[in-house]
Structure 1
């Protein structure tokens, strides 16, 4: 469900804005001065929509559009080729996404959608849409251990965490501005009059638009139109590529201030995290191992937890003398899931272990967890322990099906012994691969930069993909029309037939996109 507080704030805020606008426009004293003020500042207000347009940037746009004309010509030619390929590829991508969604619905096991997020263009303007290309956050709490769809429906407040909204809306706005800058420069390059640039807010989504002289657009050739209509998604694609490059080079860029490759730094531990406690994890701790799995970066952390979660519980070697010294008579019983318990349910220090004696008989014993697993090698069977000592046993924690005992090394502190589901540790502890070289540096700065860049990649990529769909009111509609004019005019003399072909392609793209959005929203909100 969408948080009630979010709905109240959004609806209440827009109601206040609209009523204020209505009162001022109805006032005898303020009507003319208020309307003049709106017109002079390029503002227009309607229900759930505020729009601002200006000619302040026209000189800059004309300067960019007329500089290095030959290079721009080649640049937008590449964009035109990309746009046409993206338009047809979007059918395959949306079809694949729809099949994945239907498969999830049939299996009645919808996968969780991350915080990642979306945007698209509306008509000649850009706005946020319901789609986001998959992208994980720099903190482990924002990542997923499972495979995800390339495109996902995102609803702020439901599958987009509230603390990620700043990244989301900033990336949406920047992606939209870059998209429209592409249209504007391409239009000026093709001698189309540029009237102005603007920004809008629709409900909670920011976006941008350019105002072009429609008559000029209609007079130029279909190929010139293609360069203009494809320029937006081309710029979004390039922005996503630059974001990927920045992400790859981020360790090098931050090298004078942060180093990597020695572990992961704890940046946040949720209040309800099982890792909280006197011997738990704290902000600033450096984790180097999970069990015997070395951790040098965030990817290692995720892969180690993934391995621990889906492989059987690992055991620990213990000498026969130590086992005899620590163990005490117990009464074992079966849990509901079939596992065996042999300790007091309320014990916070003891864990039930199973092992096989020299006669290969399975036994259970209750041991102090820390004394049993400290300074011991890991094992799967008794044979793994014979290498170090002939009189050793491999004791394996006897826990519930999905519960694991995990030894977390974070020197110089004593190892943390975590008992619980690995996913709980995964989602309640935020980490980063970047360790500050100096004490005055913030441990959060690399996380902020990395998370924002990932959102920018995701949203700019989504804007390029979704806006290329041949769908009514998206750039894909105009790309398709211009493409058909450029390719079929000489083949099909009858414009009505050509328009009919275009209509059915647009109808198919619109239905496919609407089906993805509708089913995606249902998957997100109906849980």
Structure 2
């Protein structure tokens, strides 16, 4: 007890002197919340709040079970991720090299589209600038701050339930990553039974799981959408609005922010809520409900089949078309002169003039028709923007929304920011729940493993003598009563988990380098 307080006084004095512990680690702590914590603890101990205390004990007992279950899930996911990374890395290293650049490009496009349309691995890291846009970094850091505070509130509340005072609360920043902590007297924690200590240790992860479930329920109920409709109008029936576009995108001159997008090829964007993402990310053929009537004279001549026979026609201004009735009849012509028009559409050659044929682009062409309406009204003022290249690149460069601001002072992209923020908030809470449940040093999972072994070998309500530092989340000192089997099991599980995590990191870096 006295040694713990001397350490705390030393830390406080170093902060008061203004000497940082590290250039890459900043830390601040306060005792301003201690009085509120003590008041809350006294109220829970009074007879008037006896029922509230029992409900909280039942609540956190349920949380202990869920966190124990989460620890096993996290280990299984870690093993699954390692096996997935190992197999994918092996396949990439042993895959034969292709000599044709076009074939290599096709493989890259298919791989990229598959990556967006389905999850490649069970666990995928969030790395700003690599796996997610760099501009999302402030949202990620904010969601991490909130998740950390929610986590530490769990430790503080369970400490108040068991009449354990809070010495201090604070926050730290390592490099650019924030963290929060609460400091509890280890001598008081060690006096608790195994079940009570289990509540204190698992309450942080349980809070993250609870917030994740609340966010899922809110997304399912659509309450966020209803709140946004106070300042925004749902224009999904008319199409989608361009909310953001990359400044260096070739589409930035043709799809200005605020313009309406009504169709992709012949697929109306108001057909379903996920039509935009599904059509651009799924490796499916282009959707053409009608063809175009083209004069036969434009489809004949010495270049009529040249681009169809030559696979690499990137240098040619012509593209391959097929008859709308039969794919066996191939033609070669300029796609811009045909696909940029909204007239002369046909269902068959019978709908065209005698001198015309009904044709459509061949299904393997990377040509996308984007129907744009700059006015945003139900008028005929629409034109076609043609995109030549993989469809997923349009999804990367253009962000759309179906919400239009009711007032001019409301930002158009605000709903997208809120959507991204709540997505990251869900991911960080779920990640903290699973990650902190892992039996790794300096995490809640290591203490959870120790308590579980105590319960198995020494009894459910045994009172340990181990010093537990909630701030550091690690064991301090040894346990004289700990059996040899417990030590071997604890060491084996922790070393095994560290090995799994290290393998996943190494394999992930290897796969990223060879892509």
**Aligned position for 1:209:** 181
Q: What is the aligned counterpart of 2:341 among 369, 374, 383?
A: 374
**Aligned position for 2:383:** 414
Deviates further, 487-496 or 477-486: 487-496
Which sections of structure 1, spanning at least 5 residues, go unmatched? 1-34, 111-140
Q: What is the aligned counterpart of 1:395 among 352, 356, 359?
A: 359
SS of 1:406's partner is strand
**Aligned position for 1:125:** none
Q: What is the aligned counterpart of 2:124 among 142, 149, 152?
A: 152
1:427 aligns with 2:410: no
Aligned pairs for 1:21-420 within 5 A = 39-40=15-16, 44-65=20-41, 66-67=43-44, 68-108=52-92, 144-247=116-219, 248-260=222-234, 261-262=236-237, 263-277=239-253, 280-296=254-270, 299-307=274-282, 309-311=283-285, 314=288, 316-319=290-293, 322-324=294-296, 329-332=301-304, 334=306, 338-339=310-311, 345=316, 347=317, 351-356=318-323, 362-367=329-334, 369-371=336-338, 374-375=341-342, 385=348, 393-397=357-361, 403-410=366-373, 412-420=381-389
**Aligned position for 2:499:** 511
Asked whether the 8 Å contact 1:197–1:211 carries over to 2, the reply is yes
Which sections of structure 2, spanning at least 5 residues, go unmatched? 1-10, 45-51, 95-112, 463-480
Task: Quote the RMSD (CA, aligned, Å).
Answer: 3.5
SS of 1:265's partner is strand
Distance across 1 between alignment mates of 2:35 and 2:337: 70
SS of 2:124's partner is strand
Deviations, residues 227-265 of structure 1 (Å, cap 9, x unaligned): 011111111111222223344422111112223333322
Post-superposition offset of 1:56: 0.9
Deviations, residues 151-208 of structure 1 (Å, cap 9, x unaligned): 2234444434321110111111111111111111111212223111110011221111
Deviations, residues 426-473 of structure 1 (Å, cap 9, x unaligned): 111122232222333210111111111111111111111111011222
Distance across 1 between alignment mates of 2:66 and 2:326: 69
Give the total of aligned pairs. 447
Using structure 1 for the length normalisation, give the TM-score: 0.75
Using structure 2 for the length normalisation, give the TM-score: 0.76
Deviations, residues 102-157 of structure 1 (Å, cap 9, x unaligned): 122112189xxxxxxxxxxxxxxxxxxxxxxxxxxxxxx9x933324342234444
Change (3 A) 1:181 1:403: same
Distance across 1 between alignment mates of 2:327 and 2:509: 55
Post-superposition offset of 1:424: 1.7
Asked whether the 8 Å contact 2:324–2:359 carries over to 1, the reply is no
Change (3 A) 1:433 1:520: farther
Post-superposition offset of 1:414: 1.6
